[in-house]
Amino acid sequence: MTKKLPEYGTINVPHERSVPFGAVTPAPVDTQKLFITSNWRIVRPVIDHEKCTRCLTCYICCPDSCWSYNEKEDMMEWRTEYCKGCQLCIKECPSDALTAVPELDFEDGVVRLEKPF
């Protein structure tokens, strides 16, 4: 007769350390300070409001939701703190309204920060 084999035991992860199922979390409906990524940027998109047709292509293609439409002013607005400088919006803009400008050209260019975000 065979003897009793070892068991696997149970793994008890205390509640305060447990991770949500599949690491799925409620989506942040607002910006999160922990994930500011603008310090990755070496260029930024600069908009020419004359050329812009408000087609919202930049709004659709931005992976970090950095473009939004200001209805009151009737113009596109760019949020600096999450733009990684990937230039997708520049590439996709059908009216050539966006230009990549090096961060060094700006007073608040992210490369000049004393410490990264």
Partner 1 sequence: MAEEKMLTGCSAAAQAAKLAEVEVICSYPIRPYTAIMMELVKMVANGELDAEFVYGEGEHAQLSVVLGASACGARAYTGSAGVGVAYAFELYSPMAGGRYPVQMAVADRTLDPPGDFGSEHTDAMMVRDQGWLMGWACTPQEVFDNTLLGYRIGEDPRVMLPQMMCQDGYFISHIADKVKLADPAQVREFLPPYKAPHPLSITCPVSHGPQIRPDQGAPMDAQRAQVFLDVPKVIKEATADFNRIFKRTYDPFLEKYKLEDAEIAFFIQGAHANTCRQTVDALRKQGVKAGMARLRWVRPWPTHEIAAALGHVKAVGAVETSTSYGGAMRGGNLIHELRATLYDLDDRPLVTSFMAGLGGETVWPEDFQFMAKVLLQMAKEKQARRYVYWIGFEGE
Contacts of 79 (CB under 8 A, 6+ apart): 31, 65, 66, 67, 68
By CB under 8 A, the residues from 19 to 38 that bind partner 1 are: 19, 21-29, 35
Beta pairing partners, 29: none
Is 10 near partner 1 (CB under 8 A)?
Answer: yes
Burial of 13 (0-12, 13-18, 19+ CB in 10 A): exposed
Q: What are phi and psi of 34, to 5 degrees?
A: -60, -25
Is 11 near partner 1 (CB under 8 A)?
Answer: yes
By CB under 8 A, the residues from 35 to 94 that bind partner 1 are: 35
Give least dist CB 32 to partner 1, A.
Answer: 10
Q: What is the DSSP string of 4-17?
A: PPPP-------GGG
Judged by beta carbon, residue 19 or residue 73, the one nearer partner 1 is 19
Is 115 near partner 1 (CB under 8 A)?
Answer: no
Give least dist CB 63 to partner 1, A.
Answer: 13
List of residues contacting partner 1 (CB under 8 A): 2-3, 5-6, 8, 10-11, 13, 17-19, 21-29, 35
